[in-house]
Amino acid sequence: MTKRDYSLLGPDGKRAVDIGLAAAEWYHTDVPRKVMKDLMQRSDQPAIRDTVILYGCMIAFAAAGIALWPSLWSIPFWLAYGVLYGSASDSRWHEAGHGTAFKTPWMNNVVYEIASFMVMRNSATWRWSHARHHTDTYIVGRDPEIAIMRPPAFARLLLAFIGVPDVIAFFPRLVYNAFIGVHPTEKTFVPQSEWPKIVRVARISLAIYVATLALALWMRSILPLMVIGLPRMYGAWHFIMTGLLQHGGLADNVIDHRLNSRTVYMNPISRFIYWNMNYHVEHHMFPMVPYHALPALHAAIKHDLPRPNASIAEAFGEMWPALRRQLASEEYFLKRDLPATAKPYRMDFHEGALGQTPAE
Amino acid sequence: MPWIDACATTDIDAEDLIRFDHAGATYAIYHSPDGQFYATAGKCTHEDVHLSDGLVMDHLIECPKHNGQFDYRTGEAKRAPVCINLKTFKTKVEGARVYIEVS
Residue A241 has pLDDT above 80, yes or no: yes
> Cβ contacts of residue B49 below 8 Å, gap of 6+?
B43, B63, B64, B65, B66
In chain A, domain spans: 11-43+122-162+235-349, 166-233
Residue B49's domain comprises: 3-101
- Tens digits of residue pLDDT in A54-93: 999 999 999 999 999 999 999 999 999 999 999 999 999 9
How much is the CA Rg of chain B, to the nearest whole Å?
A: 12
Cis peptide bond N-terminal to A70, omega within 30? yes
Distance from CA of A131 to the nearest CA of B (A): 6
Give the chain B residue whose CA is nearest to the CA of A37. B55
CB atoms within 10 A of CB A53: 12
- CATH code of residue B53: 2.102.10.10
* DSSP secondary structure letter of residue A207: H
Is B95 exposed, middle or buried (CB count within 10 Å of its CB: 0-12, 13-18, 19+)?
A: exposed
DSSP-assigned beta bridge partners for residue A86? none
Distance from CA of A44 to the nearest CA of B (A): 14
What is this model's ipTM?
0.83
Count structural domains, chain B: 1
* DSSP secondary structure letter of residue A335: P
- Tens digits of residue pLDDT in A311-344: 999 999 999 999 999 999 999 999 998 888 888 8
- Mean pLDDT over the full length of chain A: 93
Q: What is the pLDDT of residue A2?
A: 58
Residue A258 has pLDDT above 70, yes or no: yes
Q: Answer whether A317's CB lies under 8 Å from A264's CB.
A: no
For residues A22 and A7, what is the distance between their CA atoms, to the nearest angstrom? 14
Q: What is the pLDDT of residue A349?
A: 56
Contacts of B59 in chain A (CB under 8 A): none
A105 touches chain B (CB under 8 A): yes
- Tens digits of residue pLDDT in A191-231: 898 899 999 999 999 999 999 999 999 999 999 999 999 99
Residue A188 has pLDDT above 90, yes or no: no
Cα distances from A241 to residues A6, A237, A238, A319, in angstroms, run 22, 6, 5, 11
- Mean pLDDT over the full length of chain B: 94
- Tens digits of residue pLDDT in A129-173: 888 899 899 999 999 899 999 999 999 999 999 999 999 999 999
Selection from A200, A66, A59, A191 nearest residue A131 by Cα: A191
Q: Per-residue pLDDT averaged across A282-308, rounded? A: 96
Residue A359 pLDDT class (50, 70, 90 cuts): very low
| Backbone torsion region of residue A129, taken as left when φ is above 0, otherwise alpha when ψ lies between -120 and 50, otherwise beta | alpha
Alpha helices in A136-265 (DSSP H): 154-160, 164-179, 195-219, 223-227, 231-234, 237-247, 257-260
